[in-house]
Structure 1
Amino acid sequence: MQASSDNRSTRGQDAAALGDLRVLDIATFVAAPFCGTILADFGAEVIKVEQPKVGDSLRKFGTITECGDSLVWLSESRNKKTVTLDLRKEKGVELFKKLVAESDVVLENFRPGTLEKWGIGYEDLKKINPRLVMLRISAYGQTGPKKEEPGFARIAHAFAGLAELAGEADGPPVVPGSTSLADYVSGMWGAIGVLTALRARETTGRGQFIDLGLYESVFRLLDELAPAYAKYGTVRGRMGADTVNVVPHSHYQTADDKWVALACTSDKMFQRLTEVMGQPELYSRYPTSAQRVERRATVNALVAGWIGQQPLNEVLKNMAAGGVPCSHIYTIREIFEDPQYKARKNLLHINDERVGELVLPAAVPKLSETPAVFNHAGRSLGENNAEVYGGLLGLSAEELKEYSEEGIL
């Protein structure tokens, strides 16, 4: 896929799904960089470009380790080469353009217009490499009246309508799980966009740019919210743990003060639940989803009363025997102890040369023929400067020293 592979290191990439792909990650924090993480997990050569001396802000985001970089950095910058480059300086732009000529993809998430101001917008770069694919993630996208406004994941959750749905009906909007959800989801949409653009390039021979707003990544996930409002004027409010069109589909407390998630997404599933409860007459009384939704409080109370009389283990055993989807609501402690996570190798145990033993979330999805490969955790600032600028661009040791002294690297 890449423009040139003459100087490309192929260590560990022979059987990688994306082993012939070179990506320049000039983005910051999580959103666009997470796209790079996904690509790197499957073998792409991802070169992380950071500001000299200070680096990406992600290095200081979250729990700081003994090496000075955060756990988030070590996890989400894994498998990436790290170089420094000041894109605000003319010589930095010149070097970047040389890298672009040798690459397939650029990932960025600056405010719209920033790269154009530096002379490295998409229109500038495609003149150098017409096959270039550029992912552009920003708070509100490259167009529209809010395009120049800043934003982070929390702002995206609010603007997309997700935060309004999170929380109890009589309480304030709350954080929908992770404050970085929109960032990670945008990185996933970004990876889809990049791979789609690369597939199109095989036919057209031309690259393109992908324009993605953080809020769009979240809004696209909100099931029937838009069509329900457009057709019926429905404005969904907060429902706590409940779900708008299905009952019982919520969280319930057990006799030993644990919590379980229960999902009865169909009439058939509710019938199974009533059999597990030993109360099959409930299915005859409330055989359809519409009837159960209409009597939400009553149905929920019946289920909560039954679950609340049993300890967690009994609830889970009975539900599993009856084929009813149910799970203990886990903390990270339970995740580390669970045999399913162990069997699926979802927790990646590594020994990092800078901080020692670490456990990271393993890459997903699992591919049968070209699985993800872990090479290393997030590296130190500028660790691959000599390899990339010397090996790929052919700069001498003297030139590297000169660039460094001038603050370009």
Structure 2
Amino acid sequence: MAGPLAGIRVLDIATFVAAPFCGTILGEFGAEVIKIEQPGEGDSLRRFGTMTEAGDTLVWLSEARNKKSVTLDLRTPEGADLFRKLVARSDVVLENFRPGTLEKWGLGYDALAAINPTLVMLRVSAYGQTGPMRDKPGFARIAHAFSGLAYLSGEPGRPPVVPGSTSLADYMSGLFGAVGVLIALRHAEQTGEGQSIDIGLYESIFRVLDELAPAFARSGYQRERMGPDTVNIVPHSHYETRDGAWVALACSNDRMWERLTKAMGRPELAQDPRYARPKARDDHRSEVNALVAAWVGSLDAVEVLKACEANEAPVSKLLSIADIFENAQYAARGNLRTIMDPRIGPLTVPGPLPHMSRTPPELHSAGPALGSANVEILGELLGLTTDALTDLKHRGVI
């Protein structure tokens, strides 16, 4: 592959989404990402989601894009030895086993760094490699709960709900992981020293909860569920239109509020002392929301959008996935990309990010069939013969 990360070899021995998503991002910018999976069954992500005629799920086909699949049982002496040989020829290892698992197999960071001193290892686990909870299992849903996000999700006085994607913490951890890997690769380039990167799933969510922590530390304020509303800012919520659609309005400062009042045909509200400043609007939250809800509810969605857009007031209809597939902005930005998969044909997936002016990301293949790169990687790269590969497969090592 061409791309700014061409020449970087990544060994992805992780499962599901978190650490593997880091590999997906790196692969979209040219890194060679080798997905190492358990022989016979492969990554659990292959069975998580909607199954296809390929025998793998849509989640796998989308999120294991641009990767090469190699089967290798790291728990066997021969499998571990082959992995060490790959490590000697690679730059990055991605893993998300429970802390101590790789060490038990003789494949911890210190052991691998002895083979390859410039090695970068991303380690994603439920609670990180340290602390009293390091050994506990966890998934994204648990991370949402532990981070404080799930507590905030839902209507006041009602049960907490799933905060959108059930895999949000996985994706966020993969993003932070990709940043860490790129920083570590730069450091290794400058110094010849590799390093390990340690991320707890909950940490990636906790890090992005705006002023939740400083507000509590400073005044003891504990935010509760607010439904679609936002702390300190109003109107900054979702409102139902006359024809039953929902729109999002954002008024994060006085200028946006002034624009919205003009769209509403009520410019005097921007000068009303009860609503003129952010603190005043927050103090009169129910009144402001009622005014906006009444206006939105008196119009069809297309009329609300037209009025807001004419006055440059930030607005969007809450889009369903069906809306997204018909949306001109998504089309113009290439946010939906269709690739041909040899097993199922055309497959539409979210486009790679970020957009780059000189080194754009590439999407050339969907998630691979299990073990489809065994000959290329174990045979051509490591030099195993056809007979050796056959024997290893027969004994369950690959």
TM-score (norm. length: structure 2): 0.99
- 1:184 corresponds in structure 2 to 171
Q: Any idea what SS the aligned residue of 2:271 has? A: helix
Gaps of 5+ in 1: 1-11
Q: Distance in 2 between matches of 1:66 and 1:402?
A: 30
Q: Any idea what SS the aligned residue of 1:391 has? A: helix
Q: Distance in 1 between matches of 2:216 and 2:25?
A: 35
Q: Distance in 2 between matches of 1:399 and 1:367?
A: 43
How far residue 368 of structure 1 moved from its aligned partner, in angstroms, is 1.0
Q: Distance in 1 between matches of 2:122 and 2:236?
A: 38
Q: Distance in 2 between matches of 1:350 and 1:373?
A: 11
Counterpart of 1:215, as a letter, is Y
How far residue 167 of structure 1 moved from its aligned partner, in angstroms, is 0.2
Answer yes or no: is 1:45 the counterpart of 2:32.
Answer: yes
Answer yes or no: is 1:251 the counterpart of 2:238.
Answer: yes
One of 80, 90, 105 as aligned partner of 2:67: 80
Answer yes or no: is 1:337 the counterpart of 2:326.
Answer: yes
Q: Distance in 2 between matches of 1:205 and 1:371?
A: 28
One of 315, 321, 325 as aligned partner of 2:314: 325
Q: Distance in 2 between matches of 1:77 and 1:153?
A: 18
- 2:267 corresponds in structure 1 to 280
Counterpart of 1:396, as a letter, is T
Q: Distance in 2 between matches of 1:281 and 1:375?
A: 55
Question: 5 Å matches for 1:123-272?
Answer: 123-272=110-259
Q: Any idea what SS the aligned residue of 1:200 has? A: helix
Answer yes or no: is 1:372 the counterpart of 2:375.
Answer: no
How far residue 311 of structure 1 moved from its aligned partner, in angstroms, is 0.6
Q: Over residues 147-197 of structure 1, what are the superposed CA-to-partner deviations in whole Å (9 max), with x where a residue is unaligned?
A: 000000000000000000000011011100011000011000000010011
How far residue 247 of structure 1 moved from its aligned partner, in angstroms, is 0.4
Counterpart of 2:345, as a letter, is G
How far residue 46 of structure 1 moved from its aligned partner, in angstroms, is 0.1
- 1:347 corresponds in structure 2 to 336
Give the 4+ runs in structure 1 shifted more than 4 A. none
Q: Distance in 1 between matches of 2:359 and 2:80?
A: 36
How far residue 404 of structure 1 moved from its aligned partner, in angstroms, is 1.1
Q: Distance in 1 between matches of 2:189 and 2:254?
A: 47
Contact preservation (8 Å) 2:339, 2:346: yes
Q: Over residues 191-230 of structure 1, what are the superposed CA-to-partner deviations in whole Å (9 max), with x where a residue is unaligned?
A: 0010011111122110000000000000000000000000
Counterpart of 2:323, as a letter, is E
How far residue 323 of structure 1 moved from its aligned partner, in angstroms, is 0.5
- 1:69 corresponds in structure 2 to 56
How far residue 95 of structure 1 moved from its aligned partner, in angstroms, is 0.2
Q: Distance in 2 between matches of 1:262 and 1:170?
A: 23
Q: Distance in 2 between matches of 1:127 and 1:154?
A: 36
Answer yes or no: is 1:25 the counterpart of 2:18.
Answer: no
- 1:3 corresponds in structure 2 to none
Q: Distance in 1 between matches of 2:262 and 2:367?
A: 51
TM-score (norm. length: structure 1): 0.96
- 2:82 corresponds in structure 1 to 95
Q: Distance in 2 between matches of 1:78 and 1:348?
A: 12
Q: Over residues 24-45 of structure 1, what are the superposed CA-to-partner deviations in whole Å (9 max), with x where a residue is unaligned?
A: 0000000000000000111100
Contact preservation (8 Å) 2:339, 2:364: no
Q: Distance in 2 between matches of 1:351 and 1:18?
A: 24
How far residue 351 of structure 1 moved from its aligned partner, in angstroms, is 1.9
- 1:359 corresponds in structure 2 to 348
Q: Any idea what SS the aligned residue of 2:372 has? A: coil
Q: Distance in 1 between matches of 2:383 and 2:359?
A: 32
- 1:4 corresponds in structure 2 to none
Q: Any idea what SS the aligned residue of 2:210 has? A: coil
Counterpart of 1:104, as a letter, is D
Q: Distance in 1 between matches of 2:191 and 2:4?
A: 21
Q: Distance in 2 between matches of 1:350 and 1:94?
A: 36
Q: Once structures 1 and 2 are overlaid, which stretch shifts more, 84-93 or 346-355? A: 346-355
Answer yes or no: is 1:309 the counterpart of 2:293.
Answer: no
How far residue 64 of structure 1 moved from its aligned partner, in angstroms, is 0.3
Q: Distance in 1 between matches of 2:346 and 2:4?
A: 28
Contact preservation (8 Å) 2:11, 2:90: yes
Q: Distance in 2 between matches of 1:226 and 1:344?
A: 35
Counterpart of 1:107, as a letter, is L
How far residue 341 of structure 1 moved from its aligned partner, in angstroms, is 0.6
Counterpart of 2:22, as a letter, is C
How far residue 374 of structure 1 moved from its aligned partner, in angstroms, is 1.4
How far residue 319 of structure 1 moved from its aligned partner, in angstroms, is 0.5
Counterpart of 2:71, as a letter, is T
Q: Any idea what SS the aligned residue of 1:342 has? A: helix
Q: Any idea what SS the aligned residue of 1:323 has? A: coil
How far residue 390 of structure 1 moved from its aligned partner, in angstroms, is 1.1
